[in-house]
Structure 1
Amino acid sequence: MLHRRKNRWLYGLAACFMAVSINLATPTVSQAGWLDNILRGVLIWGVQSYQLSNLSDKDEENFGKQIHDELVNSGQISLYRNNRITSYINDIGQRLAAESTRPNINYVFSVVDDDSINAFATMGGRVYINTGLIKTAANEAELASVIGHEIAHIAGKHAIEQMKSQARNQGILAAAGLDQSQIVQLGVAIALDFPHSRGDETEADELGFDMLTKVGYAPEAMASFMTKLMNASGSGGPPTFLSTHPATSARVDNLQAMADSYSGSTSGSLYTAGLDSQRYRDKVYPLVP
C-alpha cells in the first residue's frame, strides 16, 4: 500500500513538472539528473520527447536529416546521382538562402530522379527539386524562383506548423510532446501528401520573391513559371507541384504585381538576370536528359 502511494505521489509530481515544462524550450538531455530532465520536458520514462513549438535549429536540422533518410531508404524518393547538377542546384540555393529570413541553418539541396514537375521542402534546411521540374523551367531565373519558394517554406517553418496541425487531428499532440519516430513519420507525410495552406503559399511567394530579387534574378520569373504550371494543368492533369502548392490566378496576379512594382523602381541588368534560355539549356539539359 505504501509502495502504491509513493508511486502515485511520484506520478503526480512528474505530471506537475511536465505541466510547467510545456512552454520551455527543449534542450539536449544532460547529466543534471532525472528531476531536471522531467522539469525540462525532455525525458519521459526513457523516451525523448520534443515540443514542436520549441525546436532548436539543431533539433530541426537533425529531424530534417532523419526525414531525408526515411524518404530515401523507404524508396519514396530516388536521388539523382549527378554531382554536377546537384552542385548547380546547391549553388543557386545557397545564394538564395543567404538572403532568407533564416540564413544561419544548414541548407541541403537534393535532386530527385523523377520526371514529374515537383519540388518540396521538409524542415531543417532540406529542399528537393525533381529532374522533371529542372527540365520544365525555361531558364535559371524560373528554376531559382521555385528554389526560393521552397526555402521560404523552411524560413516560415510551414512544415512544422502542418505537423502540429496533423498531430492534433490524429490525437497524438500530447502535452509532453512527440517522440522522434512520430516527428519523422509526420514529416514524411507532410512532405509528400499534404498541400500547403493559402496563407503559407502567399508568404512563401513573398519571401521567395524577396530572395530572388536580392540575389539579382529577373523579378518576373516567379509569375511566369507559375503561369506555365497553371496552363499545363489543362493537358493531362495538373503538375504534381500544384497538388501540394495550390496555385490560383490571384497568386499569379500578386506575383506579377510585385514584379511590376519592383521593375518600376529599379533599373539596370537586374531586369534580365537569369533569363538566358539558351545558356540554361546548354548547361542543364546534358545533365538531366
Structure 2
Amino acid sequence: MVFNKRIILIGLLIFFFKSTYSQNISKAFQFYEKEEYKLAIDIFKKSISKKKDILPAKYGLALIYADTNYQKYKYNLAYRSIKYVEKRFYKLPESDKLTYSSNYGLTDLSINKLESQILDGAFIEACNSESVEIIDEFIKVYKDSVANKKAVQFRNELVFQNCLGQNDISVYQDFLKKYPEAQQTDSVKKIIENLIAVEYEKCVASGELEPILGFNEKYPKYIDAKILKADMENAFLADKLDLDETFSLGMFAIYETYIKNAAPVELAFVALQ
C-alpha cells in the first residue's frame, strides 16, 4: 500500500513538473510575442538549466537571437540554438512532435525556415561589413552551412580587390599563399608576371649591373638564362664606361660592344655623344 502511494506521488510530481515547465515555456513565448525579450530569455534559460533537453526553450532562444528588433540579437547564438534543436527534433516520437507543433509552432518546417533566416541575415551582415576578419568569422561559425561557399567566394573577391588597390607583388604573392583555391588565382599570377617584367625592364634600363643581380636574387629563374646573361654582360660593360673621360681608342671596343648590345636602350645613344 505504501509502495503504491509512493508511485502515485512520484507520478503526480512528474505531472506537476511537466505541467509547470510547459506553462513557463508558454509564458516565455508570450513574452517573446510582446517583444519583452529579457523576460522570455530568463524563462527559457531557467527551463534549460533544470532540464537540458528542452527543445522549445532552445527554439525560443533561437527566435529571439535571430530577431533584429532585439537590440542584443546575435546570429551566431541563434544558429547554435537552432542547430541544437534540429539535431534532436527528428529523433522525437511523433506524439511529442505533434505536441510541440500544437503548443509552440515547432515543426521540421519552422526549424528549417528559421535556420535559413539566420543564415541569410548573418551572411548579409558579414558581407555588408566589408571586413575580411568578420567574413572569416562567418566562415568559421557557419562552416557546415550552405552559405559557407558563398562567403568564401565573397571573401576571396574582397581580398582580391584590396590587392588590386595596393598593386604590390608581395601582396599578390600573399594572396596566392592564403587562398590557393580562389577563382582569382590565374588573374593574380598574370598580374604578378606583368609586374615582375616591368620591374626587370627598369633594372635593365638603369644600365647598371647591381640592380640586375638584385632582381635575379629576388626572383631566381624568372628571366631566361640567355637573356639574363646578355643583360648582365651589357651592364658590366656599361659600368666600365665613363662619359666624363676623353674618348680613347683603347675604349673603342667597349663602346662598340655596348652600343651593339644595348641599341634598344636609350643609354646606348647617350654613349654616342
Q: TM-score, normalised by structure 1?
A: 0.27
Point out the structure with the larger helix share.
2
Larger Rg: 2
Per chain length, whose mean CA-contact separation is higher, i.e. which structure has more relative contact order (CA < 8 Å, sep 6+)?
1
Q: TM-score, normalised by structure 2?
A: 0.28
Point out the structure with the larger strand share.
1
